[in-house]
A and B are shown apart, each in its own frame.
Chain A
Amino acid sequence: MKLKKLLFALVMLVLLLSACTGNSQEATTTEDGKTVIKFWHNLDGDNALTLEGIIEKFNGQSDSVQVKPSFQDNVQQQMRTVGSTDSAPTVFMGGDLAYYSQSGYITPVEEMIEEDNSFSMNQLNEAVVSNHSLDGTLSGMPFNVFVPLLFYNTSMFKDAGLDPDNPPQTFSEIQKAAEKLTVGSGEEPDVYGFSIPINTSFIYNLFAVQNELVFNHDNGRLGKQPTKTFLNSDVGQNIYNWIAEMNKAGNFGNYGRTWSNTQMAFSAGELAMYPDSSAVTGIWLETLDFEFDTAPMPVPDGKEWSGVNQGGSQLWLSNQASEEEQKAGWEFIKYLVSAEVQSEWATKTGYVPVTPEAAKISPLKEAYSEDAQLKEAYDALNNTKPSEATAGPSLEEVEVSEMVAQSFEKLLQGESVEDVLQEAEQKINKLLQ
């Protein structure tokens, strides 16, 4: 008798386990016939609340689609494992163009745009589209776009006798300003004049700003993957020398790998200038207890300012979803890049709108006339001359980025520019071949 009960329990257990793995291919619908789609995003904090507000509005106004959002700490990691299975979400937000474009589990949004008469590519910002296209195709829909800007503490500028309305624009101007802004003696200044978070994107941007490629084969943007880096060129050496000189002079703060440590130093008034993503502008406007301003990324002396890379995430459509779900997903993507939503989104977060119309309607129109710091990012984006160099590298080999970061790290630890760049060049070229 007992045995039977036990057997029964076991059978139930097995059934339960198998039920967990069963995942129907059919699209699910709500009672009133809306198609339910899953959406993964990588935003937390205030930006996530804003996004969820937008999704709620979308669900309220749509009579055919219901979006179920969920936060994923690391979308790329998740997608690597489930991307080509039926557990993949219909729409997801991810920030690696090169990886997702060639992943094989996405439907390029350009296909949807071509089929849809109500949406045209012209509605999107041209600079954004060219920056997010690989080999001439737009595979993911740009959504939260940001550009790097120079952030600086205006009251420190005044204290140091610098004009906050006339921020440094070239390498040598930054160097001079950093020297004046550094407060305190010798090895341990109380305030560092300048710092750059140890992150590959800033090194790439210092190439972009002077319209120089970081890798051959057009930075990997025209269909052919790079085989060689130009990191150890005159351009690269110039950038690394510039950083090394400020570092040796004791005007450059090293806050390590953790980006937020540099931000903390700035917000605590221990750092006068640093480059950061324009996406923090909104947070800084709300939280800093001192005045700050933004300026374009600095350019080497005698070079023309050509533009910056655009960072951020794109919206991707999974090709594992049924046709019905993909259509629903496309409706949702269209809504997210509509002028009204982009206007609200850019105002609340500090991201740059991907739809030019958004800057002409409220609330973004007012925000841009009130807060010059926000507008700076939009200008930097529109002033960027479209080229493979200003669009930045697009590499399938993720490890390269780690190599660049390590070279930057070693530079700050006092190793010579030649050694650091030679080692990095060698390692990266080996990875690329």
Chain B
Amino acid sequence: MREMKLFGLGMLYLFPTFLILGVFLFYPILKTVQFSFSNVLDGGIVAGFVGLEHYLSLLSSPSFLNSLKVSFLFVLYTVPLTIILSLFLAVIANEKLKGNKIFQMIFSSQLGISGAASSAILLFFFHPTLGTINNVLGFIGVPRIEWLTSPDWALFSVALATVWMGLSLNFILFLGGLQNISEDLYESALVDGAGYWNRLFKITIPLLSPVLFFVTIINFINAFQSFGQVDILTEGGPSEATNLIVYSIYREAFMYGNYGFASAQAIVLFIITLVVTLIQFKVGERRVHYQ
């Protein structure tokens, strides 16, 4: 009886959370699943069940297959680079030197700029003839690069923008992890005569592995879900070179009105993200050292 009462009480406490999650998370997810099997009209009116039709046309859509390829390339371009760079910044900002607080502030200051604003600034940087980057390159004699107007460069440029935009958050997470590592370990290592690199690879990195693992996973997910920078910088072009999955979903649903087809893409993206994350848990977690 008491158990029952406790259970009821617990449920009551959870109810607000479930209510909000239900309205803003579970309901949209279920709707997306339903849409992906239906013919959907404007205003979200379900006009009929079409079974796997949307999924089958996904497989034969060159545009979607291209989006898949581009998204995986994009992950490859952004995730390792972001992690390595921000880890490097966190390690040097964590050194006990005068003024390291200033650098910590500078390295994390990017967080203060919204993704849309960053992209708008970068649009000026990447302009083919007026852009800052090309002007600097021209000054040292490097020929103009068609950052956003050539299909060979565009994805790389968007990736570059994404790396820059993601640095600060990763930096803060890494710095937090680094500052959690106990001083004693370093002191005793020093007594044992361990050098700087030994300390870095034998103490810092292993003890940082939970953070590293977490950062890797959220970076993968973020990279798969990138949208704002693509929308502002390239609109998925040129020639679909930067048409990442989420942009493709947006275009299909809200520009072309193909809600069902877009929902099917969303489900596929969900499955890909899920599988990639599961693989990371299987492979990655064995190497993670929890204190």
Chain A interface residues (CB < 8 Å from chain B): 3, 6-7, 10, 13-14, 17, 74, 77, 80-85, 103, 187-188, 192, 198, 253-258, 261, 264-265, 268, 270, 398-399, 402, 405-406, 409-410, 412-413
Contact = CB atoms under 8 A, between A and B. Distances in A.
Given A187-B143, A270-B130, A409-B237, A254 B149 contact: yes
A406 B237 CA distance: 8
A256 B237 contact: yes
A7 B8 CA distance: 12
Contacts of A257: 148, 234-235, 237-238
A379 to B, nearest CB: 32
B42 A84 contact: yes
**Secondary structure call for the B interface:** loop
Interface in B224-262: 233-235, 237-240, 251, 254-257
B16 A81 contact: no
Contacts of B138: 188
Contact of A413 (B239, B254, B256): B239
Given A3-B9, A187-B143, A413-B150, A254 B123 contact: no
Nearest to B138: A188
B264 to A, nearest CB: 16
Contacts of B123: 258, 261
A399 B256 contact: yes
B200 interface: no
B257 A398 contact: yes
A17 B15 CA distance: 14
A188 B145 CA distance: 10
Interface in B103-121: none
A398 to B, nearest CB: 5
Nearest to A260: B123
B11 to A, nearest CB: 11
Contacts of A77: 254-255
Chain B interface residue number, banded: 35 or more
A254 B234 CA distance: 14
Given A264-B130, A265-B130, A398-B256, A10 B43 contact: no
A10 B128 contact: no
Given A3-B9, A83-B43, A398-B256, A254 B239 contact: no
A104 B23 CA distance: 29
B129 interface: yes
A412 B238 CA distance: 10
B130 A268 contact: yes
B238 A256 contact: yes
B16 A270 contact: no
A412 B149 CA distance: 9
A13 B234 contact: no
B23 A10 contact: no
B130 A80 contact: no
Contacts of A405: 237
B252 to A, nearest CB: 9
Interface in B27-45: 42-45
Interface string B71-100: 000000000000000000000000000000
B42 to A, nearest CB: 5
Given A254-B128, A255-B128, 19 more contacts: A7-B12, A10-B12, A14-B19, A17-B23, A80-B43, A80-B257, A83-B42, A103-B42, A192-B129, A253-B128, A253-B129, A254-B146, A254-B149, A255-B129, A257-B235, A261-B127, A398-B256, A406-B237, A406-B240
B234 A256 contact: yes
Nearest to B44: A81
16 contacts: A3-B9, A6-B13, A17-B23, A81-B42, A82-B43, A187-B144, A254-B128, A255-B128, A256-B148, A256-B149, A257-B235, A258-B235, A264-B127, A265-B127, A268-B130, A409-B237
